[in-house]
Amino acid sequence: MVRKILKFFLYLIIAFVCLFIFQFAFSKYEDFKNPPPTPEERIKTKERNERLNSCLRDNIETYSRSLSELRWKNIQCEAYADGAKVDFNDNSGEKEIEKLKDYDQRYDKCYTEMTVAHSRRGLLKSNIELSVNVRRGICKAYAKGEEINYEGKR
């Protein structure tokens, strides 16, 4: 009986040693596959993040009233942070901004009106998941420019 217990503990010790070796080998493989960044890479990443954060902070303070304009400026910030030359006074993206503004306004108007209509009809309380899915689908199409006579439209 004592021999069986000793044999069991011997196998247990061998299993732990094998597990330790496997974990060590796997960690070395991970280090090889994904080497840690060099000090130069860390400095470049830190500088990029600082440029991006300062630009984004300025944008939030300046353009917080218009979500679509903020999106456009944030795209410019990404390019600036990556090292591209960006003219922040360039208005070539104004048409895209106007499209985004129009999309946002149409979507919000549709979503609000449909929410009120679903609430009055009781769909909002009885099946909120269906209500949300219907509103999202119809309002996306309406915001893209389709002329839809949705429920609650004024």
The pLDDT score that the predictor gives to residue 88 is 65
Give the pTM.
0.41
| Total tally of structural domains belonging to the chain | 3
Same domain, 8 and 22: yes
Q: Which two tokens stand for residue 48?
A: 């990029």
Same domain, 105 and 143: yes
Of 18, 109, 50, 105, nearest in space to 58 by CA: 50
The pLDDT score that the predictor gives to residue 15 is 93
CA 53 distance to own-chain centroid: 16
Task: Return d(Cα 52, Cα 61) in angstroms, integer.
Answer: 14
Q: Alpha-carbon Rg of the chain, whole angstroms?
A: 29
Residue type (1 letter), 1: M
Same domain, 31 and 49: no
Print the domain residue range for 82.
38-88
pLDDT string in tens for the chain (154-residue length): 888 888 899 999 999 999 999 999 888 888 778 877 888 988 888 988 888 888 888 777 776 666 666 666 777 787 777 777 776 666 655 555 566 667 888 888 899 999 998 888 888 889 889 988 999 998 988 888 888 887 777 7
Same domain, 66 and 24: no
The DSSP output letter for 89 is T
Same domain, 138 and 152: yes
Same domain, 32 and 52: no
Same domain, 136 and 95: yes
